[in-house]
Structure 1
């Protein structure tokens, strides 16, 4: 516990209660459960609002994009000006973002697109504020086993919300309340969260020597934003604007130029908002890269669920039910991953988790079969997806954070979490773009493959779905390679110092 927080507790007698912790969970779940429902309900929203598929795909990806861009900045602000202030700001932004989406008019042309995209961007900013500040408050106000318990509830809000979002979104979208009810409910729960968290004493990080004289790295942030937004727009809008059109080429040039400029600035500045020095640790690098790629595999959800809705006529609720096994699996195996970490170290469970996830995606990519067969394959595939992520999650986080020096722990945590959001944004955008682009392939070529059975009128959709899903499998395989090359077979000295109570794994296997 920080001395600052200890002083606050001593002066006020305040201590966190289960009611307060429930407020934290509600704040977290507003992003993972409500904001992420668009992965499943976007086809219905596109039809009702009268927007292009490319705009819908951008609306799905932009929330994670903005979360990833600003999460490091928000975490730093929370440490400096107050974690409670930033947490409350995040909850208010969640209300504003949900309100914009709930009030988005149908068939309003540019107005419709702007309100939807702006609402999604604000939801991303909300997540960037809520996630690091809520974690920092839990670490500040709890100790030892109570902290572990609180973090478990935090994880249930995030992992459980992400596992339940497709099913919940489908249920609400097909009910008499409609998809807009998702965001009205989010507003109500945000207000409840603010009520439960009222009276929380402020918490700040101790000021580092000379920190008051450092100016914020605005140039690095601006370059980062331009590069990532240009890349995301190019990927999501590529099918409509043309991959090699003037607009597409300009977007690519912006990404390359500002991306290079960003790395040059961050490599030379002492006040860089992304501390690139942490990538000098190979284990951290491997864990972060694989985390980026595994989160990118969320594109599996938008492609597979969108495919069964469009090609097979499923409702958003029916498609959401395909992820029920995913929800159960991911919640029930997170602790298994923790135990495997303690017994074997991080490398093996991370690799096993990726391989299980990859096999699940492979099953989801078998779009050449009949609908009845695909439903079974997809349900099993999503369940394996959840098991794999459950195995991977805790060992990956431990590998990333246990291997960096204490004075880089904050920067490392922010970058690792940023990789999650950016991986999700970019993976979803690429998967959706490939899904759309591959549908224009000559049907005669697809038929000549001799793979697709059943209805031949939706070959384009099914082929596009296979291409989009197989890209996710490729990302998982690259993640496996990154782990093999960077994460050591045995516990490092840094891990042993961080976890002296955990015995080193026996030197068996690979």
Structure 2
């Protein structure tokens, strides 16, 4: 019996619920923090670069360790690693909420990133092993919709908490989510692993982790200083060299590699990861900068900024499950090409936003178009990535894809640093520049999908499994 058959959960719907709750921790954390950044900055008397570290302290370990988190789940059990990661995320959220100063907040953010690196790839891989065929596409669509909806609703809840309770409350809301995810998974989810996996490729894992850390840390330093200095150049170059050594090690380990290079012989796998990097980097620009600009330049309260983003939840939650099913039938090429193009249009619409802009006629149209574009792409992207590799490497593939997405988000954070040097209405001009750059990047993402994704990829995979 195959590993997938053995791992078929007796309660697949509860498994889906547990995975949604766990993944929502990371999705919520990224978006709710955006409306709290001005309050955190004021609370600690932090400068622009220090506020940026609040974001990057989470993204650095998340980007560097996602690949290892997926590989560990493949070998030791995806359910087991997901529960450990969720527990660590909850404990570190409590540390963030109780942090007496900025240093302890940053320590908590680092630990949150480590926990997310364990729970994110293993939640998705557990879903991939629990469902098959069109049901898998539908489940992934629901997972993507719930995560996107949680990320979009979170600013509304977070804005209310910042206004009425204080910014530490945004970390307390993670505790019930984590508790529910752990209890439901422990009771209802079946374990899933790659039974053919060799011992964990620790040399490859170490090189990949250090390489990604060097690149992302170097980028973070560059974004703080906005110039190429010896330290950030050395870190970036060192990271590239280490990733080169990682590829050399993986090549010589063959099928025992943590990341078998044979996956990259699939044009679709390469293309969808390129799309992920470009699209999530571009979209990250908007999700980081829009609420900050509305608060600092537009005079919105945190609650009002959260309300401004609420339509994202409605559109993505309604459309993503449908797009997951459609992509399972027609393949991902069309939605993965159209989605980034629509996102680009939304970014160009957002360049109309200024300090005096009307929400209904200026902000809302841009938010709706952005939401429609992401709804077209999120679920088809996830299912297409997983369909491009064999079941044995589902955890590795999802870990790599998530790492690519977060690395794109880290670049968006660098753009946030460029905007944060300004205040008030002076934020508008660099905000518009970032949006135009993001639009061109989104167009490039759509072009990557058109050139690399087979329109019939999903049906072919389904037929092969049958």
Shared fold per TM-score greater than 0.5: yes
Following the alignment from structure 1 to structure 2, what is the Cα–Cα distance between the partners of residues 20 and 486?
32
Q: Write out the 4+ residue segments of structure 1 that deviate beyond 6 Å after TM superposition.
A: none
Q: Map of 1:138-177 to 2, 5 A cutoff?
A: 138-142=127-131, 150-175=139-164, 177=165
Q: Does 1:473 align with 2:439?
A: yes
Q: What are the within-5 Å matches in structure 2 for residues 15-30 of structure 1?
A: 15-16=10-11, 21-30=16-25
Q: Please point out which of 299, 307, 310 is paired with 1:321.
A: 307
Tell me what 1:446 maps to: none
Partner of 1:421: 406
| Matched length | 460
Range with greater deviation from structure 2 (399-408 or 316-325) = 399-408
**Partner residue in 1 for 2:238:** 257
- Counterpart of 2:296 (choices 307, 310, 318) is 310
Using the alignment, how far apart are the partners of 1:359 and 1:179 within structure 2? 33
**1:121 aligns to 2:110 (yes or no):** yes
Shift of 1:35: 4.7
Runs of 5+ in structure 2 lacking a partner?
none
Aligned to 1:491: 456
| Pairing partner for 2:333 from 329, 337, 347 | 347
Q: Which has the higher contact order (CA 8 A, sep 6+)?
A: 2
Structure 1 residue 219 displacement after superposition: 4.0
Q: Distance in 1 between matches of 2:186 and 2:427?
A: 50
Q: Which of 342, 347, 365 lines up with 1:361 in the alignment?
A: 347
Output the CA distance in 1 between the equivalents of 2:193 and 2:291: 43
Q: Secondary structure at the match of 2:357?
A: helix
C-alpha distance in 2, partners of 1:284/1:62? 29
Paired residues for 1:161-240 under 5 Å: 161-175=150-164, 177-199=165-187, 203-208=191-196, 211-212=198-199, 215-239=202-226
CA contact (8 A) 2:264 2:270 kept: yes
Which residue does 1:455 correspond to in 2?
Answer: none
CA contact (8 A) 2:145 2:316 kept: no
8 Å CA contact 2:15, 2:127 repeated in 1: no
Cα displacement string for residues 213-266 of structure 1 (whole angstroms, at most 9, x for unaligned residues): 955424413432432332332243125xxx14xxx3311221123213312331
The structure richer in helix per residue is 2
Is residue 283 from structure 1 mapped to residue 268 from structure 2 by the alignment? yes
Q: Which residue of 2 aligns with 1:448?
A: none
* Pairwise CA distance, 1:113: 2.7
Does the 8 Å CA contact 1:282/1:486 hold for their aligned counterparts?
yes
**Counterpart in 2 of 1:443?**
none
Structure with the greater alpha carbon radius of gyration = 1
Matches within 5 A, 1:6-45: 6=6, 15-16=10-11, 21-45=16-40
1:87 is the counterpart of 2:73 = no
Q: Is the 8 A contact 1:84 1:200 kept in 2?
A: no
Whether the 8 Å CA contact 2:58–2:110 is kept in 1: the answer is yes
2: CA distance, partners of 1:40 / 1:289: 29
Q: 1:61 matched to which residue of 2?
A: 56
Pair 1:463 & 2:429 matched: yes
Cα distance between partner residues in 1 of 2:14 and 2:379: 26
Q: How far does residue 62 in structure 1 lie from its aligned partner after superposition? A: 3.4
How far is the alpha carbon of 1:292 from its aligned partner?
1.4
Match of 1:500 in 2: 463
Q: C-alpha root-mean-square deviation of aligned residues, in Å?
A: 3.0
Do the aligned residues in 2 keep the contact of 1:80 with 1:205 (CA within 8 Å)?
A: yes
CA-CA distance at 1:199 after TM superposition: 4.0
**1:89-131 deviations in whole A, cap 9, x for unaligned?**
11221122211210122xxxxxx23212221121122221112
Asked if the contact 1:266/1:272 (under 8 Å) is kept, the reply is no
The 1-side partners of 2:388 and 2:82 are apart by 28
What is the aligned counterpart of 1:432 among 395, 405, 416? 416
- Distance in 1, matches of 2:258 and 2:119, equals 18
d(CA) in 1 for partners of 2:4, 2:429: 58
1:444 is matched with none
CA change 1:409–1:25 in 2 (3 A) is closer
From the superposition, tell whether residues 19 and 498 of structure 1 become closer, same or farther in structure 2 (CA, over 3 Å). closer
Structure 1 pair 372/213, CA: closer, same or farther in 2 (3 Å)? Answer: closer
Structure 1 residues 83 and 281: alpha-carbon distance in aligned structure 2, compared to 1, 3 A threshold: closer
Q: Secondary structure at the match of 1:418?
A: helix
Residue pair 1:304, 1:469 contacting (<8 A) in 2 also = no
